[in-house]
Amino acid sequence: MGLFENQNLVSVDAVHFASDGTVTLDLTDKRELKLTAVAWANLGSPRDSPLTVNQLENLELEARYTKIRKKMLDFLAIREHSAAELRKKLKQCFYKLAMSDFSTLVERCLMEMQENDFQSDERFTRRFIESKLSNKPHGPFKILQDLKILGISNEMAQTVLNELSNHDIWLKKAIECLKRIKKNNKKQTDENLSQKLYQRGFSRETIEQVLKEFQNNAENADFRILHSFQEVK
């Protein structure tokens, strides 16, 4: 809703403080503006006279900011998010409002979240990688690619990945992945298996080592079976 033609007639009719640190203003033009109590105080809490154009614009700006801030906090309360994820989700939530200053307000809100340690790309990266290492038989390149899609720089992703993993972990993950692949379809060539492991993000070096180890184990198993059969005879 736009401003009245005679903006000097618009004033704050009532102020309602909430326990979540926000304040709702009832304006004489029948609108409600919700903003943080801190912003309200910083703007001088103008109640005793009609609002100037600048005061009303600042109140409206802070009301828009408060909407974005609440939604961002809602997202962060559910789980860790990267900054890029938050930008994307907020854009989807508020696209109908077509705020001209939307991007500026989002970046301001992100800065506030980061200064208060509510949001951290490094912490998000660490927890993302820890989750993948615990639950998914994916290789390092797949994890790095997923993080890139989520807006994490390759430098940060690689640094955290190197800290949390090593070659033995990737060998174990590749073996686990190979077992799953062979369980679903046992009749596959080494070339097919190699390609599937590569698609899941494992390096060529790891793949070659795992396939060789898997093949040796299979040959040893066949030898033990044959030896047992000959003893029975």
Residue 107 pLDDT level (bands cut at 50, 70, 90): very high
Domain boundary among 76, 93, 115: 115
Task: Look at residue 76 and tell me if it is in a domain.
Answer: yes
Q: Tell me: do 87 and 188 sit in the same domain.
A: no
> What's the rounded Cα separation, in Å, for the pair 54 and 51?
8
Domain boundary among 91, 115, 139: 115
Nearest alpha carbon to residue 215 among 193, 197, 185, 184: 193
Ramachandran assignment for 117, one of left (phi > 0), alpha (psi -120 to 50 degrees), beta (any other): left
Q: Tell me: do 143 and 78 sit in the same domain.
A: no
Q: What range does the domain containing 30 cover?
A: 7-115
Q: Tell me: do 211 and 175 sit in the same domain.
A: yes
Question: Each residue of 192-221: pLDDT tens digit?
Answer: 899 999 999 999 999 999 998 877 765 444
Q: Please tell me the predicted confidence (pLDDT) of residue 233.
A: 43
Tell me the average pLDDT across 141-158.
97
Q: Tell me: do 102 and 37 sit in the same domain.
A: yes
> What's the rounded Cα separation, in Å, for the pair 222 and 37?
75
| CATH number of the domain residue 103 falls in | 1.10.10.10
Task: Look at residue 199 and tell me if it is in a domain.
Answer: yes
Nearest alpha carbon to residue 127 among 91, 76, 172, 175: 76
Nearest alpha carbon to residue 35 among 48, 21, 47, 49: 21
Q: Tell me: do 98 and 61 sit in the same domain.
A: yes
Domain boundary among 115, 146, 166: 115
Q: Tell me: do 96 and 131 sit in the same domain.
A: no
Task: Look at residue 2 and tell me if it is in a domain.
Answer: no
CA distances from 186 to 52, 137, 178, 202 (A): 76, 18, 10, 20
HEC profile of 29-70: CCCEEEEEHHHHHHCCCCCCCCCCHHHHHHHHHHHHHHHHHH
Element (H, E) at 122: helix 121-135
Q: Please tell me the predicted confidence (pLDDT) of residue 8.
A: 54
* pTM of structure: 0.82
Q: What's the one-letter identity of residue 213?
A: E
- Rounded to the nearest 5°, which phi and psi values hold at 148? -65, -40
Q: What's the one-letter identity of residue 175?
A: I
CB atoms within 10 A of CB 205: 10
How many domains does one find in the chain? 2
Q: Tell me: do 185 and 139 sit in the same domain.
A: yes
Task: Look at residue 1 and tell me if it is in a domain.
Answer: no
Task: Look at residue 32 and tell me if it is in a domain.
Answer: yes
Q: Tell me: do 62 and 162 sit in the same domain.
A: no
Give the torsion sign (CA, 213, 214, 219, 220). Answer: positive
> What's the rounded Cα separation, in Å, for the pair 188 and 48?
81
Question: Each residue of 57-100: pLDDT tens digit?
Answer: 999 999 999 999 999 999 999 999 999 999 999 999 998 777 78
Q: Tell me: do 63 and 129 sit in the same domain.
A: no
Q: Tell me: do 94 and 133 sit in the same domain.
A: no
Task: Look at residue 62 and tell me if it is in a domain.
Answer: yes
- Across 9-13, 67-71, 94-98, 179-183, which has the greatest mean pLDDT? 67-71
Q: Tell me: do 227 and 193 sit in the same domain.
A: yes
- Rounded to the nearest 5°, which phi and psi values hold at 160? -70, -40
**Which string of DSSP letters, residue by residue, matches 152-208?**
--HHHHHHHHHHH--HHHHHHHHHHHHHHHHHH-S---HHHHHHHHHHTT--HHHHH
Tell me the average pLDDT across 155-184.
91
Q: Tell me: do 23 and 111 sit in the same domain.
A: yes
